Chain A
Amino acid sequence: MSFEPILLKPIPDDDQIDVYEKHGGYSALAKALKEYSPEQITQIVIDSGLRGRGGAGFPTGRKWTFIPKDNTKPVYLCVNADESEPGTFKDRQLMREHPHLLIEGTIIAAYAINCHQAFIYIRGEFAAEARLLEKAIAEASTKGYLGKNILGSGFDLNITLYRGGGAYICGEETALMTSLEGGPGYPRVKPPFPAVAGLYGCPTIINNVETLCNLPPIVANGADWFKSYGTPKSPGTKIFCVSGHVNKPGNYELPMGVSMRELLFDYAGGIKNDKSLKAVIPGGSSVPMLTGDKIDVNMDFESLAEAGSMLGSAGVIVMDETTCIVKAAYVISRFYQHESCGQCTPCRQGTLWMYRILHRIEHGKGRTEELDLLLDICDNIEGNTICPLGDAAVPSVRTSIRLFRDEYEYHIKHKKCMVELGPRFE
């Protein structure tokens, strides 16, 4: 059980450009500019089977091809560094430890899509990471990897860092663009898709940090090399973020399709204090919960969908037997009602009603009939909103009721948790 990470290489001081270069950094960019046309880079990425690492898993190369061929407007690239999905903390580590990997990946992507102005939209709270990226951009410019005529190729690119303002919704690609344009981060109706009419009405590609970090190794080693990791439909490695009740929480970069049992027990050190595993949310708080006996599932897009959940952003939230499921669902619902932008009624009202009901149950004022009401609200939010935030608020709460209804009923009847909560903060 040991795997040499590709993105999260344990190289000290890799945030310094000299160190990054010494370990082969920016050689993939040089190769891309010297040996390949933009179309060839796109083809390599299509052949690699790389799928977006932000949650949706859309094929990256194919996304790039959606830019209209007869386009005459500027093309923009937005790096989605607005990492805010509860349970997810991989992009932060990438930006902290390997900011140049992101910069190099961004330049390669920009070259492939013929973009000369890229924006990195980083969540506002990540002040330290923003400073590191500013430094990395400045260093890369000094070395001629950014700016005019990059490495003598004739290709120009400018990267601008843009800090968010604490709104989860801005991780949604259309909200991200609205925010960058200077408005409140309200999502837009699709179509038109961003690749056709995005930022400032121009063709725009939005890619996640981890997605872009995969590009330098893909260009350096080829599509077949990338496909030698992971599964045929979910190739490559993935950074799994493990949090909650495990002995060694943290990021684990492993081949796609690793089993959840292996991830939790061999890598993340097993369940804390030898407790038993009650439930797992495998892809960030927006995906369905699985009970603790369902961990013999492979961590890839297809396998988790078959198991009734989703890989999402691979934020694996682990809950042991001392977790009150009602409390967990209540906390998650509080988040979505807080982050709903308020544009669509089903999401604005629905997430608020869910939160209020769960608040009542959690505080001993719930009624049994409200459980079905909660499920009814879930049904009425899902599929009825402009963006996926409404859909994201539903799965964990819905599955928590389906899988642990007895615990809700106990909570309502006895006005307290069914399980004894363990001390956590010592």
Chain B
Amino acid sequence: MNKADKSILTKSTIERLEKLLVVFPEKKSIVLPALHLVYEQFGYLNKAAIAEIAARTGVPDIYFEEGANFYTMFPIAPVGKYLIQVCHNISCTLMGADELVRYLKEKLKIEVGETTADGLFTLVTVECLGSCGTAPVMQINDTYYENLTREKVDRILEKLRRQE
């Protein structure tokens, strides 16, 4: 791809990508950091963006595809503006993760894996978030929410809705 062509990556993404290329002894090491860049810009692993990165860097796109299949933290298709990830591993289960999921499903009127009609919230369950001492825990996009109660969940969702 000619770099003068129209890019779907932001200037900041391109700059950070170029910085990555000089950091590692081997170029292939940029695969996972590049997936982070795409996820940060698009909220999911946008295929065209990955293709553009492959073309720009000369790292074969199969490596990015392999990474996209292996690393579960990145959605591979668009999700709601707020991706709600509820930990349902052992410590969170002991502290009521199932009830938390049920409560979120009722409040958002969606099932696990679905997105609200307004495109605002997607609800998923995930394995251990590494915050077992403050269970139950959920992560919304980048942010952890800990020691959750019904009241706290109400407040968090309300605040996110108000921001719209």
Contacts and interface: CB of A to CB of B under 8 A. Distances in A.
Interface of A: 74, 83-89, 92, 117, 123-128, 160, 162-168, 179-185, 200, 241-245, 249-251, 281, 285, 315, 317-319, 323, 327-328, 331-332, 334-335, 338-339, 341, 423-426
Interface in B27-54: 27-33, 35-36
Given A165-B72, A423-B99, A426-B150, A84 B130 contact: yes
A87 B95 contact: no
Nearest to A246: B133
Nearest to A341: B70
B160 interface: no
Contacts of A331: 88-90, 93
Nearest to A123: B130
Interface of B: 23-33, 35-36, 59, 63, 66-67, 69-74, 88-91, 93-97, 99-100, 103, 126-136, 139, 142-144, 148-150
B95 A425 contact: yes
Contacts of A182: 26-32, 59, 63, 67
Nearest to A126: B130
B66 A184 contact: yes
Contacts of B126: 166
Interface centre among B67, B90, B129 (most CB of A within 10 A): B90
B100 A425 contact: yes
B29 A181 contact: yes
Given A165-B74, A167-B71, A181-B26, A125 B132 contact: no
A95 to B, nearest CB: 11
Contact of B72 (A166, A180, A249): A166
Contacts of A244: 90-91, 94-95, 132, 135
A87 B94 CA distance: 11
16 contacts: A123-B130, A125-B73, A127-B142, A163-B32, A166-B74, A167-B72, A180-B29, A181-B28, A182-B29, A184-B66, A185-B70, A241-B132, A244-B135, A251-B133, A318-B94, A328-B94
B107 to A, nearest CB: 13
A365 B134 CA distance: 33
